[in-house]
Structure 1
Amino acid sequence: MRILFVGDVMGSRGRDMLATYLPQLKGRYRPQVTIVNGENAAGGRGITGKIYKEFLQAGADVITMGNHVWDNRDIYDFIDTAKKLVRPANFPVKTTPGHGYVYVQVNQLKLAVINLQGNALMAQSLDNPFYKADELLAEIHRQTDLVFIDFHAETTAEKEALAWYLDGQVSAVVGTHTHVQTNDARVLPQGTAYLTDAGMTGAYDAILGVKPEKSIERFLTQLPTRYEVKEDGRGVLGGCFVDLDETTGRARKIEPVKINADNPFDFDA
C-alpha cells in the first residue's frame, strides 16, 4: 500500500502549495491513501469546514490535526460529522467531540489512521499517548495490521520513543508540529517506518511559517509578541511517501518529500 503524507499546512500559502503540488505528487507516487495535516490551515490556527472540504477536493483522503485543533471555533460545527478528519485521540474520550482515528478502505484492505499528541513541552497535558496507542491498537488490530500514526509532538525524544515502543505493531509513525523536516527517515528493525518531523507546507522565507520579524522580535525583547503567518512569497511543501507490505503491515520504505526554491519539483525524478 502506498501512502503520501503532507505535513502541517500553514495558512493560505500552505493551502496554495497543496493545491498546486498535490496533483503532481500523486502523479509521481501514485498513492492509494493521501493524508494531510491541517491543524494550521486557517491562518495558522485550526481549520474551517470550508478548508476541510477544499482539502478533500484537492485529493486528501484523511486530514489529521494537532494542538491547534480547537483554535477556530468553526470546527465545533462540523467535527462530529467530518468522517475523514481525526483530532488527537488522547483528548478525554467522554468530553471531546470528533474522532481520534479513522479507517480508509482500499479495495479489500483497511488502513487505520491515528492522530496522537505528545505531552513533553506541550501546553496541554493529555492522556499518555503510549497507553492510548495500546488501547486503540487492541481494537484496530482486530480489523487491520495497516496502521499509520501522525504523532503531533514537540520533542524528538518523545517521537522516537513512541516509534520504538510501537515498532512492529504499526506501519508508520510520522511526526508533525515542529515544522522543520528532519533527516532521519528510516524503517525500524521490526518494520515500522519513522520520520521525526515531516516538515511544514507554507511560506519558505519564514520562521516556521511565521513572518521572520515577528519571531525575531520575541527573542530580542522577551516580551509576548503576536505571531503573524506569512501568506505570500516563495513556498515550501514537506511530507513523506511510505510503501507498505499489504500482507504483514510492515513498511518497505519511507522517503521524505520536500519542495521549495532550493529543491524544485521534478516530475521525472
Structure 2
Amino acid sequence: MKILAIGDVFGETGRKVIDKYLPQLKKEHEIDLVIANVENVTHGKGISYTHYQELKFTKEGKVLIDIMTSGNHIFHWEKTREFINQTPDLLRPLNSNPYPNYPGKGFFVKAVDLKIQKRKKICVINLIGTTFMPAAAENPYFALEKKLKELEQQDCDIYLVDFHAEATAEKIALALYFDGKISALWGTHTHVQTADERILSKGTGFITDLGMTGPYSGVIGAKPEVIFQRAKCGLPAKMRPHEDNGQFNGAIFEFDDVNNKLISIKRIRKIF
C-alpha cells in the first residue's frame, strides 16, 4: 500500500500545482491514499469551503485528496467553523483546544480497498506542537496516548500522524517516543522539506517536515517585499502570497500489504 503525504498547500499557486501535478503523480506511483495539509490554502491562511471542494475532487468528480490535515491557521476564516463539522475528512489538530464543543475533529478513520482485494483501515491523527507556536494547546503526548487508547477497538491497520510544529527537536522527540506505537509521523508547518526521512528502530516512519506545495521563489510562500519590510524596517505589513509556477513537496510511505509494516519512504520534490 502506498500513501502520499503532501506538505502545506499554500495559496492559489499551491492549488494550481495540486490540480496540475497530483493526478499524474497518483497514477505514476499507484497511490492508494492521499493526505495533504491544507491550512494555508485560501490566500495563505485557512481554507474556504470552495477551496476544500476544489482540492477534494477533480473537475471530473474523482477524489483528488482523501484526507486533509491542518494547523494553527485552520480557523482563520470564520465560515470554516461552520462547515468543518460536516466535512469529517478535514481535520483540525486533535490537541488544539480542550473545549468540548470546539469545532471539528482531530482524527479520521478511512477504509481503503486495495487492488489485491484487501481492505485496510487507516487512521490519520492531526497534532499541533507547543514550542514557539502562537496558540496554547494540550500536551501532544497525552493527547495522542489517549486517542490511541480510545481507538484500540476500531482495530486500525495503519496509524499516521501529521505533527504541525515549529521546532525540529519537538518533532523528533515525539516520533521517537511513539516509535512502534504508530506507523508513521511527519512534520508540517515550516514549509521547508527536510532530507532526514527514515524508519526508526521499532518500525515507525519519520520525516521532520514534508515541505510546502506552493510558491517556490517567495519566503515560505509570502511575497519577499512584505518580509523585507518586517525584517529590515520593523514595520507591520500584511502577508501576501507570492505567485510563480510553484513547487510540489511530499513523501510516499509504502507499507507491506500483509503485515502492515513500513517498507520505504520516498521524498517527492518537484519545481515547476
Report how far residue 145 of structure 1 moved. 3.7
Report how far residue 218 of structure 1 moved. 1.2
Residue 130 and residue 247 in structure 1: after superposition, are their counterparts in 2 closer, same or farther (change >3 A)? farther
- Partners of 1:229 and 1:23 lie apart in 2 by 24
Q: Is the 8 A contact 2:229 2:236 kept in 1?
A: no
1:265 match: none
- Partners of 2:94 and 2:168 lie apart in 1 by 20
Report how far residue 26 of structure 1 moved. 0.2
Compute the TM-score of the two structures, normalised by the length of structure 2.
0.92
Report how far residue 247 of structure 1 moved. 4.4
- Partners of 2:9 and 2:250 lie apart in 1 by 10
- The one-letter code of the counterpart of 1:61 is D
Report how far residue 224 of structure 1 moved. 2.5
Pairing 1:48-67 to 2, within 5 Å after superposition:
48-58=48-58, 59-67=64-72
Tell me the alpha carbon deviations over residues 4-45 of structure 1, each in whole angstroms, 9 at most, x when there is no partner. Answer: 111111100100001000001101221111011110000011
Structure 2 residue 225 is the aligned partner of structure 1 residue 213: yes
Structure 2 residue 173 is the aligned partner of structure 1 residue 161: yes
Q: Among residues 241, 247, 252, which one is paired with 1:241 in the alignment?
A: 252
Structure 2 residue 133 is the aligned partner of structure 1 residue 127: no
2:271 match: 260
5+ residue gaps, structure 1, are 262-269
Report how far residue 104 of structure 1 moved. 1.1
Tell me the alpha carbon deviations over residues 161-184 of structure 1, each in whole angstroms, 9 at most, x when there is no partner. Answer: 110011011111010000000010
5+ residue gaps, structure 2, are 59-63, 114-118
Deviates most, 6-15 or 215-224: 215-224
Report how far residue 139 of structure 1 moved. 1.9
Structure 2 residue 111 is the aligned partner of structure 1 residue 105: yes
Compute the TM-score of the two structures, normalised by the length of structure 1.
0.93
1:194 match: 206
2:161 match: 149
- The one-letter code of the counterpart of 2:48 is T
Deviates most, 166-175 or 50-59: 50-59
Q: Is the 8 A contact 1:149 1:172 kept in 2?
A: yes
Structure 2 residue 51 is the aligned partner of structure 1 residue 45: no
Tell me the alpha carbon deviations over residues 88-132 of structure 1, each in whole angstroms, 9 at most, x when there is no partner. Answer: 000225031111100110132200001000000001110001111
- The one-letter code of the counterpart of 2:183 is S
Question: What SS does the corresponding residue of 1:243 show, helix, strand or coil?
Answer: strand
Structure 2 residue 100 is the aligned partner of structure 1 residue 94: yes
- The one-letter code of the counterpart of 2:246 is G
- Partners of 1:246 and 1:18 lie apart in 2 by 27
- The one-letter code of the counterpart of 1:11 is G
Pairing 1:172-183 to 2, within 5 Å after superposition:
172-183=184-195
Question: What SS does the corresponding residue of 1:75 show, helix, strand or coil?
Answer: helix
- The one-letter code of the counterpart of 2:102 is T
2:116 match: none
- The one-letter code of the counterpart of 1:18 is I
- The one-letter code of the counterpart of 1:16 is K
1:78 match: 83
1:29 match: 29
- Displaced runs of 4+ in structure 1, greater than 6 A? none
1:264 match: none
Q: Is the 8 A contact 1:146 1:249 kept in 2?
A: yes
1:14 match: 14
Question: What SS does the corresponding residue of 2:201 show, helix, strand or coil?
Answer: coil
The share of aligned pairs that are identical, in percent, is: 38
Question: What SS does the corresponding residue of 2:182 show, helix, strand or coil?
Answer: coil
Report how far residue 83 of structure 1 moved. 2.1
